[in-house]
Chains A and B, each alone.
Chain A
Amino acid sequence: MAIYLYLSLLPEALIASMLCPEEFGTYYAVGSAKKSRGQAMFFEVDPDFRDPYFRVEEAYARCIPHEDGSLKASVYVSVYRVLEHMDFDVLKHLYLTTMDGRTLELSPSNQIPNEVEQLHLYQEIVPVSPLVVSRLGPLAFIDTIVRNPVSLVTLPAIVFTELQLGELADDPEMGLMENLPYSNRDHLRQCLSDVKTKYAATKMVDRVHSPNIYYRTIKNGFFVGNQKQLRYFPMPSQEEIRTNNYRWFRSANM
């Protein structure tokens, strides 16, 4: 029987499971009365991935069906500081699960979005989850936050997504906030104005922002980076999702 390996982002954990990605997403979001409910984001990891930091074999040995024949849903290999020990080449697909358990598969792409000179809003997901505005495009943002040798505050690895700003990307003071369900709108405008006009290139909008995301607000996709590697998982357009994954589209309140 197949055993899958998942890198969960909410919470950060490496998990062995007998469930396929769609079933795992449903299980993780709604499938057990004992678990807390909510969105899930996880990567499917090559099951042959091994690192001395993770006791994968031990977890696989425990990943066997229950006595009643039902499949083992999860065996936690590791929690906390998982991402920094991952090799990003083993990440196969990213799965986004809605609050009510519908799952969408995102495939990796080499076509990283071009840097455009405008303001950006980043939702960091792992290892910390602040909401940040920046003048920097996604690649420059990764360089600053992960690879900058002179900065005192760096992360060993990061997963983040860029959120839509609409007209605010060019005009933070007067731009319309259509279809942008962000709280504390005035503060967001102020932060955007600050990075546009002041010296600092990035500014924190919300220190511990809930990593639950309105998927429709994702501008381009998910970025996964560390000192050496960068992977990008683009989000399909709303029209594509509507046509190909209508259930998920409805469930995600697109």
Chain B
Amino acid sequence: MNNYMNWIYLAIVAGVISLGVALYLYFWVIKQDPGTERAKEVASWIKEGSNAYLVKLYRALGILAVLIGAIIAIVFSIQPETAGGGAVTLHFKDGLIMSLAFIAGAISSAISGYLGMRVAVEANVRTATAANFSLSRAFKLSFNAGAVLGLAMVGMAVIGMSLILLWTGTAEAVLGFSFGASMLALLAKAGGGIYTKTADIAADLVGKVEVGIPEDDPRNPAVVADNVGDNVGDVAGMGADIFDSYVASAVAVMLLGASMGLSQAEHIKYTVVPLILCMLGIIASLIGVSLVRVKEGQKPGPALNRGTVVTCIIFAIFLLFFVRFTDVNPGIFWAAVTGLVTGVIIGFTSDYFTNDTRKPVRETARVSTSGSAINIITGFSYGLISIVPSVIGIAAATLISYYVAESFGLSGIYGIGISAVGMLSISGMIVSADAYGPIVDNARGIAEMAGMDHEVIVRADELDSAGNTAKAITKGFSISAAALTVIALFAAYAEVVQAAGVSISISLREPIVVAGVFLGAMTPPLFSALLMLSVTHNAFDMIEEVRRQFREEPGILAGTHKPDYERCVSLAAEGALSSLILPAFLAVGLPLVVGFLLGPNALGGFLGGAIFTGVIFALLMSNAGGLWDNAKKFIETGKFGGPGSDAHKAAVVGDTVGDPFKDTAGPSLNTLITVMSLVASLFAPIIAVFHLFG
């Protein structure tokens, strides 16, 4: 089938099937037994809290999306008459298309995040109830619920991109779609991250440390907010995050494909190829998801990993057939496989640094016997070392995919983009495995709060530990994919500027580029600091609230009086939302300020600086945070004195430091660099013409 426009229809069909399976699984989950009245009551607190937060978040983001959409409509209606500048003409239709694409991206991202969260809050109580019967039943339920998010997300993304491409015929409009998705993802991820860690830290520091009540105890006023945080941060936020990387990688390749200077037919072919890869990835993910099963007595962790590996193999086979039986350049196969293999390797090396059977976690646990300072220094150092294999992997994937593509006569930079798409094409499976984690975590909390039998909690613990491993792998995967994506977007940015008739030179010998690099390099650390300060500020307020409740109503601890959960839920939500203003400005405003003020070359330098420090900080924070967490858990198995020992106290400090690292700042950074790259690419034609210096 060499008429490549027809492939778009097939991609839409694959997207619809994926969405259909997601809906089928959603209704299957809903039909399962929600358990006892007490379990349903506890689950309803979490559901109401999650819905309340998402309504507030999406209302705020809706206003923001309309506002940015209007700005985009105005800005993109004004176009220079000649390349390189001069008089301007008005093209309202172009502005409107871009604006609608942006809003469609934001809505699609919101829908997939909402759907994921919606199923998560229904699945948690049903998983806990299923765990009453068997581990395999509980696993099937929670994994299928995770698959709702994974499959809905890729389905929505492919349908959205395909429809816009069919409607407009240009990759630039899909860029608007991607920007909308990324903008929403950034705020959903950062807001969810602030929310979840605010509640988690407050619940732990007052509940566990000061008062001595166990995890997930219903007497803790922050316990519902903590469980809500798992949903809004780890499900809705993460769903939006991967959605954005998935779309951005495809868009980058589409833009590069559109600018390869080929014949019209070739031009269409290489614009459509990323969508075909996404389509093949969807089919592979559907098969992979259906193969993930755990029999009674088996461990859930290997089943999840097996699912990921099998999906990769199926995808590679599909891709081989696609390349073999069409006239597409075979370099695409090798570039995509490079990305796929690198993604898996980076995912598993991330696991090395956060797995308690390996040296980094054990060493960090061991030195905790000498206090929290040594714990933090050791964990931080291993976090820094953990950057090495991932960066080498990203560098290797960049070089291999570049030269492989070149050796087959394809643009090298297009090959890099394809490797990112290859890596993310199996997102359906990756997200399914990842979303399973917070669902079982919540199920455990509900089992605890509803006073279920301890066997249920033992099973939930086993399911939960598998979820943590899947989470570590996904983080490595998403960061490395984002790195390759932004490299491709960076190239796309240069192409867009040149297409506007302005030559671009990003050389470190030019002071304006160096200034841009420094400003860009500064942004991820600054962004991280703002998010983490938001966590500490909001956690401080919530700690005071939890203390106040315990102080003023002794019946809470005695178990005779219900805590005011809503107050903590509301505090966390308000704190998270109000903390997003400055980070949002940094992501969208700063590239524009640099671009309009210092020009396209400085903006190129800015992107370069932001990409490099962004990737490094994201890896450091995610891995160090996971490492501290697991060092604490390792000590809790009885090692080095076990719970309550001096080593444990030190490890708890390390884990608390690591919490906002791994769940707030770290995972938001890849979205930050994607958003900044998209803003730059989107506004590149205008910045190329209108800038003050440079």
Contact = CB atoms under 8 A, between A and B. Distances in A.
A243 B454 CA distance: 8
A97 to B, nearest CB: 11
Contacts of A33: 551-552, 554
Interface in A133-182: 177-182
Interface string A71-98: 0000000000000000000000000001
Nearest to B648: A181
B564 interface: no
Contacts of B552: 33
Contacts of A114: none
Contacts of A180: 641-642, 645
B642 A100 contact: no
Interface stretch (B206-214, B535-543, B659-667): B206-214
A246 B454 contact: yes
Contact of A253 (B214, B217, B559): B214
Contacts of B559: 26, 101
A30 B559 CA distance: 10
A154 to B, nearest CB: 32
A7 B213 CA distance: 25
B29 to A, nearest CB: 28
A62 interface: no
Given A33-B551, A251-B213, A101 B644 contact: no
A242 interface: yes
A27 B448 CA distance: 23
Contacts of B551: 33
Interface in B639-659: 639-646, 648
B465 interface: no
A179 B642 contact: yes
A185 B213 CA distance: 27
Contacts of B645: 180-183
B457 to A, nearest CB: 8
A22 to B, nearest CB: 10
A249 B648 CA distance: 19
B558 interface: yes
A181 B213 contact: no
A30 B217 contact: no
A33 B217 CA distance: 20
Contacts of B648: 181
Contacts of B217: 100
Contacts of A179: 638-639, 641-642
Nearest to A29: B557
Contacts of A253: 214, 643-644
A33 B640 CA distance: 35
Contacts of A203: none
Contacts of B640: 177
A153 B642 CA distance: 35
Nearest to B215: A250
A100 B643 contact: no
Contacts, number: 73
B128 to A, nearest CB: 15
A31 B554 contact: yes
Which of B217, B639, B640, B644 has most chain A Cβ within 10 Å? Answer: B644
A101 B643 CA distance: 19
A32 B369 contact: no
Nearest to B555: A31
B362 to A, nearest CB: 14
A214 interface: yes
Contacts of A99: 211-212
Interface in A19-63: 26-27, 30-33, 37
Nearest to A31: B558
Contact of A181 (B211, B448, B644): B644
A26 to B, nearest CB: 5
B189 interface: no
B219 interface: yes
Given A31-B557, A33-B554, A178 B212 contact: no
A185 to B, nearest CB: 7
B206 to A, nearest CB: 12
A27 to B, nearest CB: 7
B557 A100 contact: yes
A246 B644 CA distance: 19
A241 B405 CA distance: 64
A60 B3 CA distance: 96
A178 B219 contact: no
A83 B219 CA distance: 35
Contacts of B457: 246
A100 B219 contact: yes
Given A100-B213, A242-B454, A246-B454, A32 B641 contact: no
A216 B641 CA distance: 12
A101 B638 CA distance: 24
B395 to A, nearest CB: 42
A100 B214 CA distance: 9
A181 B212 contact: no
Given A101-B557, A101-B559, A242-B454, A183 B646 contact: yes
B214 A250 contact: yes
Contacts of A100: 211-214, 217, 219, 557
Contacts of A183: 645-646
Nearest to B637: A179
Contacts of A242: 454
A46 B217 CA distance: 34
A70 B551 CA distance: 20
Nearest to A214: B644
Which of A100, A185, A247, A249 has most chain B Cβ within 10 Å? Answer: A100
B214 A30 contact: no
A151 to B, nearest CB: 34
A154 B559 CA distance: 43
B448 to A, nearest CB: 8
Nearest to A27: B558
Nearest to B645: A181
A103 B645 CA distance: 23
Interface string B601-629: 00000000000000000000000000000
Contacts of B212: 98-100, 251
B171 to A, nearest CB: 56
B639 A178 contact: yes
Contacts of B646: 181, 183
Contacts of B557: 26, 30-31, 100-101
A187 to B, nearest CB: 12
Given A31-B554, A33-B552, 11 more contacts: A26-B557, A31-B557, A32-B554, A33-B551, A177-B640, A179-B641, A181-B644, A182-B641, A246-B453, A246-B454, A246-B457
Q: Which 9 pairs of residues, A with B, have the shortest CB-CB distance?
A: A99-B212, A179-B638, A181-B645, A30-B557, A179-B642, A181-B644, A246-B454, A100-B213, A250-B214
Interface of B: 211-214, 217, 219, 369, 448, 451, 453-454, 457, 551-552, 554, 557-559, 638-646, 648
16 contacts: A26-B559, A31-B558, A32-B554, A33-B552, A99-B212, A177-B641, A179-B638, A179-B641, A181-B641, A181-B642, A181-B644, A181-B646, A183-B646, A185-B369, A242-B454, A253-B643
